Amino acid sequence: MDLQHRWSHLAAIGLASLAGLSLAATAPPAGLPATALPSILALFWSLHLAGPQAKPGFHRDIVWPLLAYFLIGWGISYGWVLDHIWTRTALISVLLLAFLALVGAIVCRTGYRLAGAYGLAASAMALEAALTFGPVSMPLVSTGFTVSGTSWETVVPLFGITGVSFLLWGLAAMVFGLAPRTQPIVILLWMLISVSGFEERQLSVPDAPSPVLPVALIQPGIPAASWANVRDDSRIHDLASRSDSSRRLLIWPETALPVGTAQRQDSLLQRHAPSDVIAGGIMVSDGGDVHNAAVYWQAPHPPGKSRLLWTAKRRLIPLVEYIPGLEQVPWLGLLRVDSGGMSGYVPGHERAVWDVGDIQLAVLICYESLFGWEARSAARQGADAILVLSQNGWWINSRMQLQHRDMTALVARAIGRAVVMAGVSGWTGILSESGRAGPSLSLREPGVLHADVRPRPRKTLYLVMGETFSAMFFVVVVSLGVFQWRKHD
């Protein structure tokens, strides 16, 4: 490698690192509102700066700018790699992040080699689709979440989170193909629209009477290390002491109920719950499988009996709730992390929608709320509102709880459904169908929020069409990439 190429390569890594910082800066909860598109464009320019695509040795080099982009962008955007209260968990999370970044760099390097910017964009789309819809799911890496807090939120009900992400990558590849003097104009226009405060217009129709669900959201505010003991029954006493005997539906957070069978959970709730409860719990099935679950317990009303329903979490977090490939490679168990719970859950298969009072309610558990297609599936099954139970008190600061809230708000907007969130340490509150935050509790403090949930479901294009536009954007970018490849072949 000659000196000029060496310096251009270092400059490319530097520019890609700045692009990663730009991506991180636009992530919720308090990101800059206009840097998503410039971030991707800066990545394209960093690879262009590394040298002509045909230069010998160039293809061995561009993996490093790509690795810097993903590692810095994802690492800072999603601070779970450093904010965890358990050091070992943080270190293993860093390894997981580095592995994902390396895979992303290799995949995108291959796409760029084949078809330039369009190939890279198509590769990034394929990577995101695999991490969003595949068996090992990590939806946090979706670029679509970067529009949170900007005017581009108005596009989310049309295309969904993944669709917006694909639109961003495809648009960036197209802009990169324009004359260099034109690109700053497009970027400026993007930024102006991002901060314009434009809101989607709603049809002016009189509010129809909507059913009301009175709820009491219980936020224990218990330190994560204490909550991590999933076999401790004492937390039930604390939760019950904060739960009044009104006829409100009590909502307790994820893993509020200790490990047990349905019969044991029913017995615990009969002794302690003053009224109907939806709570997170660790359920043991008749076959001995352990599930991270949501339990709906209806108190006995004479002359009837109590009734317990439960549904298991479907999208489990890798390394935290299960180990991918553990049965085939037992030593992978060394990567098991302590997150306040167990790391051997079995995923659920069916999404339950419960009749609760006068409304239909579906439950998502913790980061399941970031899977737009899971929330859409629940809404398509008839859910008027979504309940999210979380156990995210293991973060050192409050940034991650707020990020979870803002990302979930974007999903609420995509499917047109109100979301009720209940966390061990927060965020606990209500999000409207448009994703706006309503009444809530202070983070990390014990409290009870009495509220009336008044769902006003609305139909969105994403709710009807699903990921159709995501597929269309991908096909367009791949087609342009094939054209580019054949043109230079």
**Do 81 and 90 meet the contact criterion of CB atoms below 8 Å apart?**
yes
Residues of the chain with pLDDT under 70: 1-5, 30, 51-60, 79-89, 197-209, 245, 247, 301-306, 325-343, 488-489
| pLDDT given at position 433 | 94
Q: In which residue are the tokens 């992303």 written?
A: 104
Work out the burial of residue 18: count CB atoms within 10 Å of its CB; fewer than 13 is exposed, 13-18 middle, 19 or more buried.
middle
Pairwise CA distance, residues 387 & 364, whole Å: 6
Pairwise CA distance, residues 316 & 181, whole Å: 47
- As beta bridge partners, residue 309 has 296
| pLDDT given at position 55 | 46
**Do 78 and 27 meet the contact criterion of CB atoms below 8 Å apart?**
yes
The CA–CA distances, whole Å, from 461 to 89, 155, 465 equal 40, 10, 6
Tally the C-alpha atoms within 13 A of residue 382's C-alpha that lie toward its C-beta.
8
C-alpha angle 116-471-74 in degrees, rounded to nearest 5: 60
**Do 255 and 279 meet the contact criterion of CB atoms below 8 Å apart?**
no
Contacts of 192 (CB under 8 A, 6+ apart): none
* DSSP secondary structure code for residue 135 in this structure: S
Tally the C-alpha atoms within 13 A of residue 120's C-alpha that lie toward its C-beta.
28
Contacts of 357 (CB under 8 A, 6+ apart): 211, 212, 213, 214, 249
| pLDDT given at position 190 | 84
Tally the C-alpha atoms within 13 A of residue 209's C-alpha that lie toward its C-beta.
2
Question: Which among 380, 233, 237, 349 is positioned nearest to 285, based on CA atoms?
Answer: 349
**Do 41 and 93 meet the contact criterion of CB atoms below 8 Å apart?**
no
For 393, the token pair is: 């008190």
Question: Which among 56, 267, 39, 295 is positioned nearest to 146, based on CA atoms?
Answer: 39
Alpha helices in 134-152, H assignment, sequence order = none
- Name the pTM for this structure: 0.90
* DSSP secondary structure code for residue 322 in this structure: B
β-bridge pairing 307-312 and 353-356: unpaired
The CA–CA distances, whole Å, from 44 to 19, 39, 54 equal 9, 9, 16
Q: Is the dihedral of CA 291, 294, 296, 297 positive or negative?
A: positive
Pairwise CA distance, residues 76 & 163, whole Å: 23
**Do 279 and 257 meet the contact criterion of CB atoms below 8 Å apart?**
yes
Give the CATH superfamily of 213-455: Carbon-nitrogen hydrolase (3.60.110.10)
For 201, the token pair is: 């217009």
Pairwise CA distance, residues 151 & 156, whole Å: 10
Contacts of 223 (CB under 8 A, 6+ apart): 393
In this structure, which amino acid lies at residue 172?
A: A
pLDDT tens column, 207-240: 566 789 999 999 998 877 778 777 778 888 888 8
The residue extents of the domains of the chain are: 3-198+466-488, 213-455
For 212, the token pair is: 């009301």
CA dihedral 229, 234, 240, 242 (to 10 degrees): -80
Helix, strand and coil percent figures for the chain, each rounded to 5: 50, 15, 35
Tally the C-alpha atoms within 13 A of residue 2's C-alpha that lie toward its C-beta.
5
